[in-house]
């Protein structure tokens, strides 16, 4: 006989939605809202510097593309990673940053830095959600 696993109820939307939304829009913003200023400053510095290093290395931003399955996965995954950077990505695209995807180690690392900045922000959003939902202290 299988044991029943006790699941915590989902907290109300009003508890975690502002934290998650601000955390996406401004890296570290969710932690600032939760009065975790040290962690928030660390997240903001880490994500912003990684994103800026990616820009300085002239990394290409991913755009959704159709094609074979691998092309779709790589481009949509990269696009999702870029989009997770929030206002940094929105400002860069709004101000016209657009680098062609060219061969070269530095440009390739720049693209990876841009995506990784977004993924790091995604981890920070999950952390802020868990703190807001009282699943973590």
Confidence of residue 1 (pLDDT cuts 50, 70, 90): low
CA–CA separation, 18 vs 7, rounded Å?
A: 23
Domain ranges of the chain: 15-132
Does residue 50 carry a pLDDT above 90? yes
CA 19 – CA 62 distance, rounded (Å): 27
Residue with tokens 């820009």, as numbered in its chain: 55
pLDDT tens per residue across span 105-122: 888 999 999 999 999 999
């Amino acid at each position: 006989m299988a044991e029943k696993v006790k699941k915590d109820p989902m907290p109300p939307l009003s508890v975690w939605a502002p934290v998650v939304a601000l955390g996406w829009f401004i890296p570290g913003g969710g932690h600032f809202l939760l009065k975790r200023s040290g962690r928030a400053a660390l997240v903001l510095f880490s994500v912003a510097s990684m994103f800026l290093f990616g820009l300085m290395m002239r990394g290409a931003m991913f755009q959704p593309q159709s094609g074979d399955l691998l092309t779709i996965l790589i481009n949509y995954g990269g696009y999702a990673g870029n989009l997770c950077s929030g206002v940094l990505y929105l400002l860069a695209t709004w101000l016209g940053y657009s680098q062609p995807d060219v061969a070269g180690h530095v440009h390739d690392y720049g693209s990876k830095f841009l995506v990784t900045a977004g993924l790091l922000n995604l981890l920070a959003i999950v952390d802020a959600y868990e703190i807001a939902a009282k699943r973590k202290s």
